[in-house]
Amino acid sequence: MKTKADFSDLMTRVISAVVMLIVAGFAIWQGGEAFKALLIVAASLMGWEISRIHDGRMKIAVVSGIIVGFCTFLTFFPLGFSPPIILGTQILVALLMSETHRTSKVTVFLTVLIVIFATTALGNFRQDLGLILTLWLLLCVIASDIGGYFAGKIFGGPKLWVRISPKKTWSGTLGGWVLAAGVGVLFVIFTAQPVLLIVVSVLAAIAAQIGDLVESAIKRRAGVKDSSNLIPGHGGLLDRFDGVLGVCLIVFLAGVLGYL
């Protein structure tokens, strides 16, 4: 017999989401230094979470968060340093951070770099491609999450990858793709974007879901359910923005390869 869908946490999730949308929406609308400042703070908190779930020593976690935030700041505001020096500094910092942790040194190293590269890629995306496409990108991630949540709860069915994320289903995955495609359709209709954006919207949803799965694998290996409890109903920033990190890492790689 099919289990009744459980939406007991929905109200808490909605309230937290509304608060996040107000804060993030204002910063995205303003762009420039306001948005970059928000991303620096977010990177700092995610750096703290990465350290916290892999070590547990509060002082190490706080220092790690500050360092990750500074590395992100340095990308936005280079202080006269050249890009190769900044990149080398970030890699060196991530390596040193990983060596201070008791376990999962490779995971810490890679995750720290992903947070730095992805957050700065999002800031540059807003600066270079404008408000409309930034809203599209983030709405695709949100749609992927909302579509996955409701489709998974309502339809259930076969699990996507039980070993990594026991609650995720194929119906939720497809629901995320469909809702992200719907976002693409709306932007094609109302902002005169090319039809290809609909396909790219689905690809953005896939990248977001991969980011979600990777973060789930990291937490499972670390033996924790949530990266922190900063956001009621959602867990930590890594739990909430893992999809954004997945998409923005692709944006970063596309920029490196010259496609953006």
Q: Do the domain assignments include residue 72?
A: yes
* 128: exposed, middle or buried (Cβ count in 10 Å: 0-12, 13-18, 19+): exposed
What pTM, to 2 d.p., does this model score? 0.87
Instruction: Judge whether residue 1 has pLDDT over 50.
Output: no
Could you tell me the residue range of the domain that residue 100 belongs to?
A: 10-256
Q: Do the domain assignments include residue 1?
A: no
Residue with tokens 């989401």: 17
Question: What average pLDDT score do residues 210-231 get?
Answer: 85
Q: Do the domain assignments include residue 174?
A: yes
Cβ-based neighbour number of residue 54 at 10 Å: 24
Answer whether 143's CB lies under 8 Å from 161's CB.
no
How far apart are the C-alpha atoms of 117 and 135, rounded to whole Å?
19
Q: Of all helices (H) and strands (E), which one includes residue 147?
A: helix 105-155
Q: Do the domain assignments include residue 4?
A: no
Q: Do the domain assignments include residue 59?
A: yes
DSSP label of 161: E
Domain total of the chain: 1
Q: Do the domain assignments include residue 80?
A: yes
What pLDDT score was predicted for residue 3?
Answer: 52
Q: Do the domain assignments include residue 2?
A: no
What pLDDT score was predicted for residue 11?
Answer: 77
b (16+ CB within 10 A) / e for 224-233? bebbbebbee
Average pLDDT, the chain: 87
